[in-house]
Amino acid sequence: MDDAAAELDRLLAEATGADPAIDRAVAARFGADGGTEEGWSGSVEACVRLLHRVLPGWSWHVGWAPSGVVPYARLRHGQERISAEGPTVPIALLRAILAARRGERDPPAVAPEPPPWRRPAGGAPAA
């Protein structure tokens, strides 16, 4: 990992919200201009523009983690997926973008066992 990526990774791990230091680190890592007053760390729109620039063809989704308190971001490209949580949606998106650029991926989804009424006679799960 190069110095710019390591610094951005450190700042994002410690992030609590929008921070000009994160925006400078994003610019250093990806050679881009935030284009908004809030920079990337405070703007979902700026993060989405960055995503389309550095990970063309990837789609994105944001929501709330199972706790209902923490935002998450999920990026997808074909069967590849990467997810990240953060204190804010922009921070979650930035964490996911950086992880995807590092080559990290979520493990493949595993189909759940069928409910009892869909199992074959004898109650054992289908192979």
Whether the predicted model's global pTM rises above the 0.95 cut: no
pLDDT above 80: residue 13: yes
The edge-to-edge listing of strands for the beta sheet with 80-85 is: 59-64, 71-77, 80-85
Q: Which fold has domain 3-108?
A: Double Stranded RNA Binding Domain (3.30.160)
Give CA angle at 43 (67, 105), nearest 5°: 55
Give the count of alpha carbons within 13 A of 11, CB side only: 23
Question: Residue 37: its pLDDT value, please?
Answer: 67
pLDDT above 80: residue 68: no
75 in Cβ contact with 81 (< 8 Å): yes
pLDDT in tens, 19-57: 999 999 999 898 877 666 678 999 999 999 999 999 999
Boundaries of every domain in the chain? 3-108
- Alpha-carbon distance of 88 to 64, in angstroms, equals 10
Tell me how far the alpha carbon of residue 104 is from its chain's centroid.
Answer: 10
